[in-house]
Amino acid sequence: MEPPAGQPTASDTAFVKTFPCTGCGAKLSFAPGTKQLRCEFCGTGNAIEGHEGAIEELDFETFLASLEGRMEVEEAEEIRCDKCGAAQKLAGSLFAGSCTFCGAAIVSKSYASRRIKPKSLVPFQVDRPRAVDSFRRWVRGLWLAPSDLKRYAQSDAALTGIYLPYWTYDCRTDSDYAGERGDDYYTDEPVTTRNARGETVTQVRRVKHTRWSAAAGHVEHFHDDVLVMASRSLPPQVAASATRFNLKGLVPYQPEFVSGFQAEAYQVGLREGFPLARQQIDATVVSLVRRDIGGDQQRIHSLDTRYSEVTFKHVLLPVWVSAFRYRDRTFRFVVNGQTGEVSGESPKSWWKVALLVLAIAVVVVAVIVLGAKG
């Protein structure tokens, strides 16, 4: 399978097209949760046609072989806005965004020469008002945060919708393992202590033991749509909600869905992404092996895993990103553009943290005291 090479083709050019409003000439934007483009100025709406179809899986090794010797094209491109005529460059690795001067949708033509372009995406389902509401509810649920945080966390205008690049990998694994199965059992054993008066007291306590036996076996599994973020824009501590999507919502890529939003080109390459997927795959294999061994505890001494039938997709997934300031510090957050789930950074109230630690300490002491009396 040959990736795009050389000059952009007609289909490549269509990849980055924009859509003028038939009513007023402004650029149309995709309306989240619908199948329409809508003008923010006059309200004109256009239906998006042909958004259904099969989502293709590509063979990983075959595609990598076809990329050998090809250089990635990542040239900074000056873009002229069709609405106001201003010339500008898109920030960072974005290939779609908004004009700095008039807000109209703009796209980079140079992305058509990238070696791999997304073939599918999950359209935005959460619009800006719902994303703002999700953020406010998230802030209200931060019970370790300072009580006055809600006054500071008002960042509606800074909320930005962006499609982030991801790889999905499918893979079949065959694993041989050797280890041990542990079955727990309990015995009642006398324990002699002295009470406060110095008297000898004998009590019976239940003691846990584990009986170990050798185990070996073979497990097979098909890993479907292992997701790897191909962006470096989000730090791990804020990206949790941006890793949980329902990929049943993927539709074939159409530029209409990107219109009016930012979109980012991949920064983590196809080959570079697979070891990250393998970390998730290997963790799943270990869980499967433990389940196969059974018992109450498991020990894995050796594990030999073979990977086959590796395929991939390059997809775009929607998020709302922003930040808020609290007492001269900036905290970033992300709203999942499909589900509305929020994750991010937040300040902590140290007196609330101290109370939590104290409460945990009281519980631990109470458990120890009760155990000694029992």
pLDDT of residue 351: 44
Q: How large a percentage of the chain has pLDDT more than 90?
A: 38
Is the pLDDT score of 353 beyond 50? no
Lowest mean pLDDT among 47-51, 263-267, 271-275, 316-320: 47-51
Whether 211 has a pLDDT exceeding 70, the answer reads: yes
pTM: 0.80
Find the mean pLDDT for residues 34-57: 81
Of 85 and 55, the one with more pLDDT: 55
- What local confidence, expressed as pLDDT, does residue 201 receive? 80
In sequence order, the 6+-apart residues with CB closer than 8 A to the CB of 362 are none
DSSP characters for 212-250?
Answer: EEEEEEEEEEEEEEEEEE---SS-GGG-GGGG---GGG-
Higher pLDDT among residues 295 and 37, named by residue: 295
Range from 113-122, 261-270, 311-320 carrying the lowest mean pLDDT = 113-122
Are 166 and 302 within 8 A, CB to CB? no
283/286 Cα distance (integer angstroms): 5
The pLDDT of 361-372, averaged and rounded, is 58
CA 177 centroid distance within chain:
31
Mean pLDDT calculated for residue range 94-120? 67
132-172 pLDDT per residue, tens: 888 888 877 765 555 655 665 554 447 889 999 999 999 99
Across the strands, what pairs with 335? 320, 342
Taking each helix axis as running N to C, give the angle between helix 60-67 and helix 270-293, from 0 to 180 degrees, rounded to the nearest 10.
160
> Which two tokens mark 81?
């806005």
Give residue-wise pLDDT tens across range 242-289.
Answer: 999 999 999 999 888 988 888 888 889 999 999 999 999 999 999 999
Rounded (10°) CA dihedral 363, 365, 371, 374 = -90
**Predicted local distance difference test score (pLDDT) of residue 149:** 57
**pLDDT (mean) for 92-118:** 65
215 pLDDT more than 60: yes
pLDDT for the residue 84? 54
- 3-state SS assignment for residue 366: helix
More confident residue, 367 or 269: 269
| pLDDT at residue 335 is higher than 80 | yes
User: How far is Cα 156 from Cα 43, in angstroms, rounded to an integer?
Assistant: 22
Q: What pLDDT score does 301 carry? A: 98
pLDDT digits (tens, 9 = 90+) for 170-198: 999 999 999 999 999 999 888 887 877 77
Rama region for 202: left / alpha / beta (φ>0; ψ in -120 to 50; rest): beta
- How many residues in total does the chain contain? 374
> Collapsing DSSP states into helix, strand and coil, what is residue 109?
helix
Q: How many CA atoms lie within 13 A of 107 on its CB side?
A: 23
Range scoring the smallest mean pLDDT among 29-38, 64-73, 76-85, 265-274? 76-85
Looking at residue 152, its pLDDT comes to 55
Over the chain, what is the mean pLDDT? 80
